[in-house]
Amino acid sequence: MDFKFEIAKLLADAAGISPEDAVAAVEVPANKAMGDYAFPCFRLAKTFRKAPPLIAQELIAKLEQPAFLSKMEVVGAYVNFFLDKGVYAEQILRRVLSEKENYGKSDIGKGKTIVIDYSSPNIAKPFHVGHLRSTVIGNAIYKIYEELGYHCVGINHLGDWGTQFGKLIVAYKNWGSKEAVERDGIQELMRIYVKFHDEAEHASALEDEARLWFVKMQDGDEEALSLWKWFYDISIKEFERVYNMLGVKFDAYTGESFYNDKMAPVVEELKQKQLLKESEGAMIVDLEDKNMPPCLIIRKDGGTLYATRDITAALYRKKTYNFDKCVYLTALDQNLHFAQWFEVIHKMGYDWYQNLIHVPFGLVSLDSGKLSTRHGNVVLMEELLNQAISETKKIIEEKNPDLADKENVAKQVGIGAVIFNDLYNTRIKDVVFSWERMLNFDGETGPYVQYTHTRACSILRRAEELPTADAQIDFSTLSDEVSLDVCKLLEAFPAKISDAADKLEPSVVTRHLVAIAQAFNKFYHDNPILSSEPATRQARLAVVLAVENVLKEGLRLLGIDAPEQM
């Protein structure tokens, strides 16, 4: 039962307004003494030409109190509604126990496809903490949309093409060796890449040489492509290792290079539609009418750019997947880039440009400043995750040395702490990276939610008989406020998933899990469970079972494991 909707239906009939207007007007009072739901009568004053308090009195006189309400009353201009706690708890808990891991799932996205472009690290550069946000936010959005019935396509649009590979080839030829690259892999590639930028500050000819090597790559030069493929293969091995640690998978690894042989027809289409203009030897699409700088399509040396490849990729994805939405997760500072090429798609005459969505997020920076692979100022992702696991293991050794499967639990909790910490922040917020904050196991953290889940599991393990969805349970024993608070948060869980999808904001789910964990721990503290009277015990165990189920499913949506013991 949707209690808010049922109350709104009563009000709609009594006030002569539409159910939609009534639903929109019903509020949840901040003060619990004012009821579980309230209807303000101010908006009806103009229609009825009466004072709102008088309208409230007339409305309540017309309402017949349903069984799911314990009380209705007027306070000033408000009609307040108080739920029967037992009836309310029964409705929510039976539904959770019945639907189990499907609680929160829906089919609103059935028949619709959403393409999600996330992570997208650059080949030949180490996977560092700056890549964390796109990876875990994208992974969570994928799982959240999948929960709502959408067909999701996760794409890792690798940065595996462009002038930076010309730079790397020049760097390798000047300061690298086959032996060093084979021995040290991506670390050696990063070393020579940083060396290139240090040297290029004093020798600008290096930049010109790098551009020429990239043009050779585009033209199919055998040596250039052979070196590029070597760097690519080394990088993919490293990335896969990190993705496996994070539990992240993709449906396609179609990076920028994938579109190299698909750009010429797109450039030709731009020409035919008279959108391309020459500017200082380069080819651009003029966006002055949209108050934006021109979108550069072909450089004066003939090289393509990010925009060329992104436009080509969008056209390919629409043709291949016929998406209803195509979402791009990148840093906030790329807003202009996406606005420009989205507008190019619009000018090409494709009305689906409106379904291209840039989802920006704030940057991760070090205490000492912005992350930069050009200067080697990075925290490597694998090192971070291993450190998190190591720190977690120390805590387990101290607090629960006899725990079975310590290694696996340390991995689940350590990596979960890193992911949760990132997803707890609203994505637009900049994050200053701090080891201490990242690995803090107190407060509103992943380990706190995971520990709450293990607490619920422990209670359920010790219970002789677990309640079922259709069992005879006296839910009137759940008449205290803390029990009701837990049930309200459980009821809100499906709506929070939908809200997170609408806003493309996983923190909606993350913060709700913290709220459930906090409410449950208060419930656990205030209410004896296994030692209570049989009738009360079964009702309280129903709460425990429902919370265990929702916390586990909520953590899964965030890409985090829910251990049963810690």
Hey, where are the domains in the chain?
3-83, 113-262+305-370, 389-557
- Which CATH code for domain 3-83? 3.30.1360.70
Q: Are 228 and 164 in contact (CB under 8 A)?
A: no
Do the domains 113-262+305-370 and 3-83 match in fold?
no
Residues 113-170: tens digit of each pLDDT: 999 999 999 888 888 888 999 999 999 999 999 999 999 999 999 999 888 899 999 9
Does the pLDDT at position 37 exceed 60?
yes
Token pair 């309640």 in the structure block, residue:
467
Residues with Cβ within 8 Å of 185's Cβ and at least 6 positions away in sequence, in order, are 234, 237, 238
Tens digits of residue pLDDT in 418-436: 999 899 989 999 877 666 6
The pLDDT of residue 463 is above 70 = yes
| Rounded mean pLDDT, 310-320 | 98
pLDDT recorded at residue 297: 97
**Mean pLDDT comparison of 390-394, 399-403, 520-524, highest-scoring range:** 520-524
The CATH architecture one would assign to domain 389-557 is Orthogonal Bundle (1.10)
Closest CA to 262 of 123, 352, 161: 161
Segment 373-386, tens digit of pLDDT = 555 566 788 888 99
**Mean pLDDT across 402-427:** 94
Strand order in the sheet with 78-83: 37-40, 78-83, 69-75
Predicted confidence (pLDDT) per residue in 480-512, tens digit: 999 999 999 999 999 999 999 999 999 999 999
pLDDT of 364: 77
77-100: pLDDT as tens digits? 999 999 999 999 999 999 999 999
Res 2: pLDDT: 84
Token pair in block for residue 552: 């586990």
Question: If one looks up domain 113-262+305-370 in CATH, what number appears?
Answer: 3.40.50.620
**Are the CB atoms for 420 and 558 separated by under 8 Å?**
yes
Q: Which residues pair with 114 in a beta bridge?
A: 152, 325
Catalytic residues: 125, 128, 131
Please tell me the predicted confidence (pLDDT) of residue 367.
61
At residue 42, the pLDDT reads 95
Question: What pLDDT is stored for residue 446 in this prediction?
Answer: 93
The mean predicted confidence, pLDDT, of the chain is: 93
Tokens of 402: 């006899």
φ, ψ (nearest 5 deg) of residue 239: -60, -45
Q: Is the pTM of this model over 0.85?
A: yes
